[in-house]
Structure 1
Amino acid sequence: MEIVNTAFRLFAENGYNDVQMKDIADACDISKSLLQHYFPKKIVLLSTMLNELMVSTFIYGNEKMTTLSPEQRTMIQMSFLLRMLDENPTIEHFIRDVFESPELTTEIVLVILDWLEAIGVSGETAVIRYALNFAVSGGMAVFFKRKLLRASVEGISQNIDQAFYLLLGEDTQQINQIYLSTAKYNTDHYYHEFIACIHQHSAIELRNEIKF
């Protein structure tokens, strides 16, 4: 975990492509060969971080939103995740690097897919995966260009949710009603609970990257 935390800070500060395995080894005060004993390739290290981060973000929904429908839970989670990225440039930098890799984008989709199936989002796995890949990939592309496009974070989150559930065959009016029912959770109180939960459960030290 010392290696993972050190590499995460380097990736977040300098960008994935500009950090070499030797840089990580030097920062950890170990040899490159020892680093590669644990993580043979840089992308394996990034994949480990990604899985840890994604899983820790879902713990809040699993613990605090169990009485809500799967649709409500996904919409609230998306809203919180995008707000977190918007308010924390370092973690946004890290996630932007992830989405530049088709392999890692696929991994994000698979982690989210596991969570969606676990909370009971209905539909065939192949259909959910297609809808998720379309909505998340397209939505995040817009998110990273939000200032240029003058798009609000709230609007992007809503569009991602709508695209996902429309592809699953939901009615537009019903999707909008569900979205409106989540409005009371999009407050500082619940968002701060979400961030506190990430800090508590993530094995990666995020105090410098994700702030209240």
Structure 2
Amino acid sequence: MARRKNMKRRRVILGNTFRLIRENGMDNVSLQMIAEKSDISKSLLQSYYPHKSKLISDIVRNLFNTLDKQVNNYEQIEHYSSYAHMKAFIYTIVVLGMHDEGLDRIISQAFTNNETLDNWGSMPLDWVHDEHLFDDINATKAELESGIAFVTIGVGRLYYDRKKYHLTAEDLSNYATSSLMYSFCHCSPDEIDQALKDGHEIIETADMESVHQAIYTMFDGEKEIIS
């Protein structure tokens, strides 16, 4: 019973933090604001989340988990390669940030803050292992992990500067996927071209309104959360 109450309160805190950051930006949200929004004292809030960085990390982890479930529901995705799957996942993250100012604040924070970037960087590796996405590729574990770390940091930098370089969501997802395939996984140009083409076909089937709604409501009700 105590554990259920604990998780319910965490859900409320995370949901309120998520909404406050979407509305105001990370730098303009304090622990006191979150506590007041959650109708608890600041000291009680800090017994769950001593620092804002932990709150942001948990929000990013839940965002990542929700996106994973949504992308896995894209039509026919199971019939395409892991690289095409990766392109669709990156595209989804980027296009949501480009079209939702509130989500952009959170995604930008995840990509640019050192504390959250460390956690964000480990999430793709966990995702790859959990989904067994690259079990059959021609790369060592070290090459794959290095490649994913490289892609995570590179995409974050380009996402942050996307307007400067006039980059679209598909540009970013193509750069990330082809970099991993060519530089770390020893894929041929034909294999890369096919993966990018297949990834494009996947994202054309995506219902982005449904994805957006799933993220907007990820802390609602009895939905499973990570904390």
Identify the TM-score tier after normalising by the shorter chain: 0.7 to 0.9
Distance 1:196 1:12 in 2: 13
Q: CA deviation at 1:156?
A: 1.8
Map of 2:91 onto structure 1: 79
Aligned length: 204
Is the 1:52–1:204 Cα contact (8 Å) retained in structure 2?
no
Q: CA deviation at 1:125?
A: 3.4
Distance 1:13 1:196 in 2: 16
Scaled by the length of structure 2, the TM-score of the pair is 0.80
Distance 2:46 2:190 in 1: 52
Q: CA deviation at 1:55?
A: 0.8
1:97 aligns with 2:109: yes
1:173 aligns with 2:220: no
Once the two structures are superposed, residues 87-106 of structure 1 have per-residue CA deviations (whole angstroms, 9 ceiling, x without a partner) of 11110111111222222112
For structure 1, the residue ranges without an aligned partner over 5 or more in a row are: 206-212
For residue 142 of structure 2, the aligned residue among 102, 126, 129 is 126
Map of 1:66 onto structure 2: 78
Match of 2:80, SS?
coil
Distance 1:178 1:72 in 2: 5
Distance 1:175 1:66 in 2: 18
1:107 aligns with 2:123: no
Map of 1:210 onto structure 2: none
CA RMSD of aligned residues (A): 2.3
Distance 1:105 1:9 in 2: 21
Match of 1:182, SS?
helix
1:164 aligns with 2:174: no
Q: CA deviation at 1:111?
A: 1.2
Is the 1:55–1:111 Cα contact (8 Å) retained in structure 2?
no
Map of 2:18 onto structure 1: 8
Match of 2:78, SS?
coil
For structure 2, the residue ranges without an aligned partner over 5 or more in a row are: 1-10, 222-227
Distance 1:200 1:6 in 2: 12
Once the two structures are superposed, residues 122-164 of structure 1 have per-residue CA deviations (whole angstroms, 9 ceiling, x without a partner) of 4433322211121121122112222222222221221111112
Distance 2:116 2:215 in 1: 23
Percent identity between the two aligned chains: 21
Match of 1:149, SS?
coil
Q: CA deviation at 1:60?
A: 2.6
Q: For residues 105 and 194 of structure 1, do their structure 2 counterparts lie closer, same or farther at Cα, with a shift above 3 Å needed? A: farther
Farther-moved stretch of structure 1 (86-95 vs 161-170): 161-170
Q: CA deviation at 1:183?
A: 2.4
Q: CA deviation at 1:62?
A: 3.4
Scaled by the length of structure 1, the TM-score of the pair is 0.85
Distance 1:29 1:157 in 2: 41
